[in-house]
Amino acid sequence: MYLTPVQTLAIILAVAAGTQITRWLPFWLFPENKQPPAVVIYLGRVLPPAMMGLLVVYCLKDAAWLTAPHGAPELLAIAVVVLLHRWRGNVLLSIAGGTAVYMLLVQTVFDAGL
């Protein structure tokens, strides 16, 4: 626990508020079967893939890129996820396999003796 309970609750509420806005917005903006403007439909189509790219990089921001092992365990585990997903296309298998490989790598091969 790094935050106080009040701060934690504030984060939870902030996350909930942000999430809820995304759910209600279209129903507020287009109460009847009014056609949404083209730019909204466009963003609704292109934002999801772009956000996944953002989230992947965001997750890797704390990896050691400039010092050893230069992100090697992260890149190896991502390669495992990609290969597993290409091979079987099973979401849970890809996640579990990649995570297991990553845990193995950071706990043995790349263990910095933390």
Partner 1 sequence: MLTGYLCLGLAYGLLMQAHGYGPLWSTLMSAIGFGGSMQYVAINLLVSAFDPLQAFLLAIMVNARHIFYGLSLLGKYKGLGAARLPLIYTLSDETFSLVSTVAPPEGVDRRSFYLAVSLLDYSYWVIATALGGLLGSLLTFNTTGMDFALTALFVVLFLEHWKKPENRPAGLIGIGCTVLALVLFHDDLMIPAMVFILAALLGGRKKLCT
Closest distance of CB 101 from partner 1, Å: 9
Q: For residues 73 and 40, is the Cβ–Cβ distance under 8 A?
A: no
Q: Is 11 in the site for partner 1 (CB under 8 A)?
A: yes
Place of tokens 């466009």: 42
Residue 23 and residue 28: Cα distance in Å, rounded? 10
Q: Is 2 in the site for partner 1 (CB under 8 A)?
A: yes
Interactions with partner 1, residue window 38-57 (CB under 8 A): 39-57
Among 15, 70, 87, 109, binds partner 1 (CB under 8 A): 15
Residue 98 and residue 59: Cα distance in Å, rounded? 14
Phi-psi region of 37 (alpha: psi -120 to 50; beta: other; left: phi over 0): beta
Q: Is 25 in the site for partner 1 (CB under 8 A)?
A: yes
Interactions with partner 1, residue window 84-103 (CB under 8 A): 85-86, 91-92, 94-96, 98-99, 102-103
Closest distance of CB 10 from partner 1, Å: 5
Collapsed DSSP state (helix, strand, coil) of residue 81: helix
